[in-house]
Amino acid sequence: MQSDENADSRRESRRLLATALVVAGLVVALQFTPLKQWLQEVQTLKAWVANYGWKAHVFFVLGSVGAIALGVPRLMLCGLGGVLFGFAEGLIVSQMAGVLGAYGAFLLTRRWAPKQWVERKLAGSDSLRRLLAHPSVGTIFVARQLPVPGIIPNVLLGVVGTRHSTFLIGTFLGYLPSNIPIALAGSSMGKESLQRAILQVSLSMSALAVFSVLIFWIRRRLKV
């Protein structure tokens, strides 16, 4: 169990670090290559989105929920939210979209999916099944950090009859450690100032390091 825990933590940390490094490379490219013209177009797009006010946020959340349901990676949409709305607003709309998308899959499984069919589909997810055998906010939080497709915990939690409040709180908290660094990194791509962009990428990587240590400590405490 301990070796599995360490391996999962390392894989997830590497995945998020690779994403942050890619964004850092793009930030530099946008400042010092002909791609800088694209940065001006991003500013125009941000101004256009801002003209719609709260409606833009609603459309983004609804569109993201639908995209997540179709299999679009949640973190990609989180980064896009950071680009379009900045860090704080991008994080908020991404959190809402991610939680609502996950909750929709949870409800569909809970109400209509045949339990035996779901059990067969999840036959290869033994470690996750053990973790979520008795769902709590803590175990759901940890499950959201594992390098597995997000749909799998949603379906499994629907099958085992998880309380709605437990699912929502655990999922909301579980998405923060990945959404915060990615929203910061995405926001950096929309900055005209190189100094501010580098600062946000640095903050993104720092947040990633802090959350990695925190998640490792929580898993040790919960022994999962």
Q: What is the 3-state secondary structure (H, E, C) of 108-144?
A: HHHHCCCHHHHHHHCCCCHHHHHHCCCCCHHHHHHHC
Per residue in 19-76, pLDDT (tens digit) is 666 766 766 666 666 666 666 777 788 888 888 888 999 999 999 998 887 778 888 8
pLDDT category of residue 9 using cuts at 50, 70 and 90: low
Please give the C-alpha separations between residue 155 and each of 43, 122, 162, in angstroms, as whole numbers: 39, 9, 11
Q: Which domain holds residue 30?
A: 2-222
pLDDT category of residue 1 using cuts at 50, 70 and 90: very low
Sequence length of the chain is 224
Per residue in 105-158, pLDDT (tens digit) is 888 888 776 666 666 655 556 667 777 778 889 889 988 888 777 788 888 888
Rounded-to-integer distance, Cα 5 and Cα 3, Å: 5
* pLDDT of 91 over the 60 cut: yes
What lies within 8 Å, CB to CB, of 201 at 6+ separation is 20, 23, 24, 27, 184, 185, 188
DSSP code of residue 160: T
Choose among 152, 159, 143, 109: nearest CA to 219: 143
Number of domains in the chain: 1
What is the distance between the terminal CA atoms of the chain, rounded to a whole angstrom?
A: 7
Quote the pTM value: 0.76
Per-residue model confidence (pLDDT) at position 38: 66
Rounded-to-integer distance, Cα 93 and Cα 99, Å: 10
Choose among 121, 124, 132: nearest CA to 160: 132
What is the percentage of the chain residues whose pLDDT exceeds 90? 22
User: What's the CA dihedral at 71, 212, 86, 40 to 10 degrees?
Assistant: -80
Rounded-to-integer distance, Cα 172 and Cα 100, Å: 10
CA 211 to chain CA mean position, Å: 13
